Structure 1
Amino acid sequence: MSSSIVEAESILAVDIGSVFTRALLFDVVEERYRMIATAQVRSTIGTPYFDISESIFLVLTRLEEITGRHLMEEAHLILPAQDDGSGVDRFVLTFSAGQPLRVVAMGLLEDVSLASARKALESTYCQIVEQIGLNDRRKPEAQIDAILRARPDLVLIAGGTDQGATRSMAKLVDLLVLALQLLPPENRPDILYAGNTAITKQVADRLEPFVRPHVVPNVRPNIDQENLLPAQEKLSEIVYLRRSHQLGGLQSYSTISSITPQPSLRAFGRMVQFLSKLSGASQGVLGIDLGSATTGVAFARQDNFSTIALPYGSGYGLAAALEQTPLESITRWLPMHAPDETVRDYLWHRTLYPASVPHDLEYQAIEQAMLRQILALVARRISSEEGIYGFEPILVSGYALTQALSPAQALLTLLDGLQPIGVTTFILDPYGLVTALGAIAPLNPTLVVQTLESNALLNLGTVIAPISAARYGTPVLNVRYELENGETSTIEVRQGTVIPLPIPNGQRARLHLHPLRPLRLTPDGKDTTRSFRITGGLLGAVIDARGRPLELPTDSARRRDLLKRWMAALGS
């Protein structure tokens, strides 16, 4: 082992969420990087503190209790580490707390520049509150009024291919200038220009008397090409600048951070992209970070990579999810009867008290039913009409899924909500490790690789979900699996069932699938006999032959009985 590894730095990563603040400590153990400890406390971004410093102090105090390591001196983090082992060498900070930026998107064509602008904005914590395009039929004064009423934190201007439209873009900028003149300087939004580069100087000259614009390369340099990354990176910087004024203490901690504090989703997405490149597989990697206010989604497949911040969450974000979800879509997942008003009242109560814990089985079931619907909204947003095929793996983070549920409950919730098709391994990130490693990656790639090799992430199991048109109860598949010790077993799978395979956690096995009826595991058609190796997870492996989309009986008694049988099959 090289001395650069042995003498490497210890790193502390802190993530500020809307409800929880988490800290993770990394150091070298026996010449390899490891996550030493993690701690979590309630965030103090709201009353009575309105400052992240208090929750950071509390979480570091908790880390000191866990590790016996002295991290603070007079309530300040010790940087760098001292000869006596106290302190840490580096500190990184990520955040998802705070209100999303209110954004006005301005562009030319709805399906071209404005579509690219929306994609860029979806990559971080932004909310589009107004949109103005070439086909907007409102009079100029009405458009100006719309901008003023929107009270934007940011205006994103896109449109015109490079060396393309100039006159129409100039009109958009002139419209914005009129709106800026009517706003007091302290209320003027940030401006991000991501349009035709041929008029960048002209745009800057028009805007600079009022606001110094941020300028990035065109998000749509030509009609058939998107270039979102520069805009996405600049948006992350703008989010940080805005948050540094909203979250007390963020600016002071940025002075000791080894890199500029960054949105949690950006760090999470960086790791999903890294894992996709590391695997080299064509299936791609899907990451879901279900927070209280926002669900961050990142998916990477070959050269395609996207991050999306969806305004749905398990606490504050329940309100937006409820607006998109009929109540019957939630109550159908309940294994017992609960009056509609009880379900509705409890979920709205959770939006007010997102850190509360359900105190009986009925409320636990309501929360799990709502989680299924949030995941269904995620699946609807990212999938094609044919469903979610073959991400390998699907990586899941967020307290509501990784800490509040048992492994069996978590896996069944994920299967019911996402309804994946094909062969997928589900990985849980119970400590927020992926976000922390994404922030550390630019500083120390070796730490990232070695920590991932340490099994800090939990393998729930590999799920095989075939699609078949067979009737319920019809045999559709024979599965034979061979364990490393030579033991073999064969299981017949019937349509409509979910069957666990008892493959020990961490043990390799070879699966042989023999279709008994026409079925498919990939989008490109029917599958014949297949053999492949898997690694057993906490629940071994699972065959989900319930079909897609899942169809639940309309009769309440039959539906509840079926839900209970599915839960019992996985030991929940």
Structure 2
Amino acid sequence: MSSSVIEAESVLAVDIGSVFTRALLFDVVEERYRMIAATQVSSTIGAPFFDISESIFQALTRLEEITGRRLMEEAHLLLPTQEDGSGVDRFVLTFSAGQPLRVVAMGLLEDVSLASARKVLESTYCQIVEQISLNDRRKPEAQIDAILRARPDLVLIAGGTDQGATRSMAKLVDLLALALQLMPAENRPEVLYAGNSAITKQVSDRLEPYMRPHTVPNLRPDIDLENLIPAQEALSEIVYQRRSHQIGGLQSYSMISAITPQPSLRAFGRMIQFLEKITNAPQGVLGIDLGSATTGIAMARGGTLTMQALPIGTGFGLAKALEQNPLESITRWLPMHASDETVRDYLWHRTLYPTTVPTSLEYQAIEQAMLRQILAQVATRVAPDEGMYGFEPILVSGYALTQATSPAQSLLALLDGLQPIGVTTFILDPYGLLTALGAIAPLNPTLVVQVLESNALVNLGTVIAPLSPAQYGTPILKVRYELESGETSSVEVRQGMLVPLPIPNGQRARLHLQPLRPLRLSPTGKDTARSFKVTGGLLGAVIDARGRPITLPTDSARRRDLLKRWMATLGG
């Protein structure tokens, strides 16, 4: 047994969301780390408790019932593991609950330093409420008034390459110092300086009479080079510090956490980056975490991790999603008739009561339609121009998707919403495992690797989505597949079809693709005959030849009939 297994035999991971609190227990079974149990309870961050301690207590109580293992004594977590096997060795905490930080971004150039600053701020739970740059034509006093009106929790200053512009940066800092001087001490924001390193000491000296700024290496040490990671790490710490004063019980649990509690998206993104490294996937790995208030996106490609926290979600975040999407973009995905008033009323009701369970097939369909539109917004953020080409794999977590009534519902929602192109494997994370492992990774990499090798993640299936200009119904592709048993089969795929391949779950198969018409599976150009291996998921493998973007009939009856047929094709 490796030394890392001996050092930390059991770990408890808790994630605090705005609607749910999740708890996952990991331990060694037959000299291998495994997820022993997982549970989910309603969060108590809001009324009537306003304290996370109650939901953590409920989650641990449920884990005790599931495992028969005593984890608490007098309502307190037992640390470390006791001689009788009760308790756990380590505890980690992540969080996504709470209001986003209000941020003022200050920089020199809108499309350079401020663009880098936005990437940093989008990587966690922040809302940019004001921007100030050299191009800002407002007078200094108007800019100061804007900062005061914004009531920021944080001011991020970026700009100037290393050893580059100093005078312009110093003017921005002086402007901020004047604004801080006018604020009551208790209302002054945190300041994160990530600009020209040549004036870091000057920045500290200028601002320290009012507050102690956080300084990190320059976001843009060179005009063509970005260095976002130090600022992202500092921002995660600032978010935690702010949350610890806003969320009851967070400070007390941070005292027993093996590492400083961190934003859930930060931990989730760490795992997506890790998966990209170990799979060495040239297409990149995409992770989507569908939360109630926020949808997190983590994309790792070529060794670079990009994270975005979209202020839309499947519960509280529906309000923002409804503002951004016309109602017809949602109702077009309904397989039955529902009036606009019914759809609108139900979705607004969900923003007030995000734990509501749909009580009819109609309400369930409305939720699935809204989910597709949220996923479409994710796709627009990930690939605004060239389309969603073959990430391998795409990993998705979030109650709204992982708790769908059938795997077919989950996969079809992903295909309709994201509309990927090329070859993509869809993996569901029903327990929030990736966020937990991302928090544990700095402590125990062995646990992370061994749990990933288990069956805790769910393979929905591999999807092959070719692009072809052929007319509807035209044969475009011949697919032959060979199972491990030696059994072979083939199918002809026509444009507009959704074709399942019955590859047993967990079994390997070799696919041979023979184009019958010009088509494309990658952004590099036209594809010729090719073969590759896939592992069957819950739905085997699927050929999605419906084209991109998916075009739905304008006639409502035909459209609803088509949606039903697609679901029936996948076995839903």
> 1: CA distance between counterparts of 2:77 and 2:21?
16
Q: How does 1:310-325 map to 2 (within 5 A)?
A: 310-325=310-325
1:20 equivalent to 2:20? Answer yes
> 2: CA distance between counterparts of 1:147 and 1:483?
64
User: Where does residue 355 of structure 1 map in the other structure?
Assistant: 355
Per-residue deviation, 1:168? 1.1
Give CA-to-partner distance per residue, 1:419-471, whole Å, 9 cap, x none.
00000000000000000000000111000000011111000000000000001
AA aligned to 1:326 is P
Cα contact 2:288–2:397 (8 A) shared by 1: yes
What secondary structure, in the 3-state scheme, does the structure 2 residue paired with 1:377 have? helix
After TM superposition, the score normalised by the length of structure 1 is: 0.99
> 2: CA distance between counterparts of 1:173 and 1:4?
47
Structure 2 segments unaligned to the other structure (5+ residues)? none
User: Where does residue 153 of structure 2 map in the other structure?
Assistant: 153
What secondary structure, in the 3-state scheme, does the structure 2 residue paired with 1:568 have? helix
Q: 1:260 to 1:413 in 2, by over 3 A?
A: same
AA aligned to 1:519 is L
What secondary structure, in the 3-state scheme, does the structure 1 residue paired with 2:231 have? helix
Q: How does 1:496-535 map to 2 (within 5 A)?
A: 496-535=496-535
Cα contact 1:461–1:541 (8 A) shared by 2: yes
User: Where does residue 549 of structure 2 map in the other structure?
Assistant: 549
What secondary structure, in the 3-state scheme, does the structure 2 residue paired with 1:519 have? coil
Percent sequence identity is 84
User: Where does residue 378 of structure 1 map in the other structure?
Assistant: 378
Cα contact 2:8–2:90 (8 A) shared by 1: no
> 2: CA distance between counterparts of 1:5 and 1:128?
43
User: Where does residue 43 of structure 1 map in the other structure?
Assistant: 43
Q: 1:227 to 1:80 in 2, by over 3 A?
A: same
User: Where does residue 342 of structure 1 map in the other structure?
Assistant: 342
What secondary structure, in the 3-state scheme, does the structure 1 residue paired with 2:12 have? strand
Per-residue deviation, 1:2? 4.1
Cα contact 1:520–1:527 (8 A) shared by 2: yes
AA aligned to 1:214 is H
> 2: CA distance between counterparts of 1:392 and 1:7?
34
User: Where does residue 465 of structure 2 map in the other structure?
Assistant: 465
Cα contact 1:429–1:458 (8 A) shared by 2: yes
> 2: CA distance between counterparts of 1:443 and 1:162?
34
Q: 1:6 to 1:172 in 2, by over 3 A?
A: closer
What secondary structure, in the 3-state scheme, does the structure 1 residue paired with 2:84 have? coil
User: Where does residue 84 of structure 2 map in the other structure?
Assistant: 84
Give CA-to-partner distance per residue, 1:198-243, whole Å, 9 cap, x none.
1111111111111110000110111111110000000000000000
1:308 equivalent to 2:308? Answer yes
Per-residue deviation, 1:500? 0.6
What secondary structure, in the 3-state scheme, does the structure 2 residue paired with 1:472 have? coil
Give CA-to-partner distance per residue, 1:158-179, whole Å, 9 cap, x none.
1111111111111111111111
Cα contact 1:6–1:31 (8 A) shared by 2: no
Q: How does 1:487-498 map to 2 (within 5 A)?
A: 487-498=487-498
> 2: CA distance between counterparts of 1:271 and 1:375?
21
User: Where does residue 249 of structure 1 map in the other structure?
Assistant: 249
> 1: CA distance between counterparts of 2:448 and 2:455?
12
> 2: CA distance between counterparts of 1:404 and 1:431?
13
User: Where does residue 450 of structure 1 map in the other structure?
Assistant: 450
User: Where does residue 196 of structure 2 map in the other structure?
Assistant: 196
What secondary structure, in the 3-state scheme, does the structure 2 residue paired with 1:421 have? strand
> 2: CA distance between counterparts of 1:304 and 1:544?
29
1:231 equivalent to 2:231? Answer yes
1:562 equivalent to 2:562? Answer yes
Give CA-to-partner distance per residue, 1:84-134, whole Å, 9 cap, x none.
000000000000000010000000100000000000100111110110111
Cα contact 1:8–1:28 (8 A) shared by 2: no
Q: 1:2 to 1:141 in 2, by over 3 A?
A: closer
> 1: CA distance between counterparts of 2:110 and 2:2?
55
User: Where does residue 170 of structure 1 map in the other structure?
Assistant: 170
What secondary structure, in the 3-state scheme, does the structure 1 residue paired with 2:209 have? coil
Q: How does 1:86-235 map to 2 (within 5 A)?
A: 86-235=86-235
Q: 1:128 to 1:473 in 2, by over 3 A?
A: same
Cα contact 1:108–1:159 (8 A) shared by 2: yes
Per-residue deviation, 1:302? 1.7
What secondary structure, in the 3-state scheme, does the structure 2 residue paired with 1:260 have? coil
Per-residue deviation, 1:5? 3.0
Structure 1 segments unaligned to the other structure (5+ residues)? none
Per-residue deviation, 1:405? 3.9
AA aligned to 1:14 is V
Cα contact 1:507–1:536 (8 A) shared by 2: yes
What secondary structure, in the 3-state scheme, does the structure 1 residue paired with 2:464 have? strand
AA aligned to 1:551 is T
> 2: CA distance between counterparts of 1:429 and 1:556?
34
Per-residue deviation, 1:359? 0.5
User: Where does residue 272 of structure 1 map in the other structure?
Assistant: 272
What secondary structure, in the 3-state scheme, does the structure 2 residue paired with 1:289 have? strand
> 2: CA distance between counterparts of 1:118 and 1:165?
20
Per-residue deviation, 1:6? 5.5
Per-residue deviation, 1:148? 1.1
Q: 1:223 to 1:503 in 2, by over 3 A?
A: same
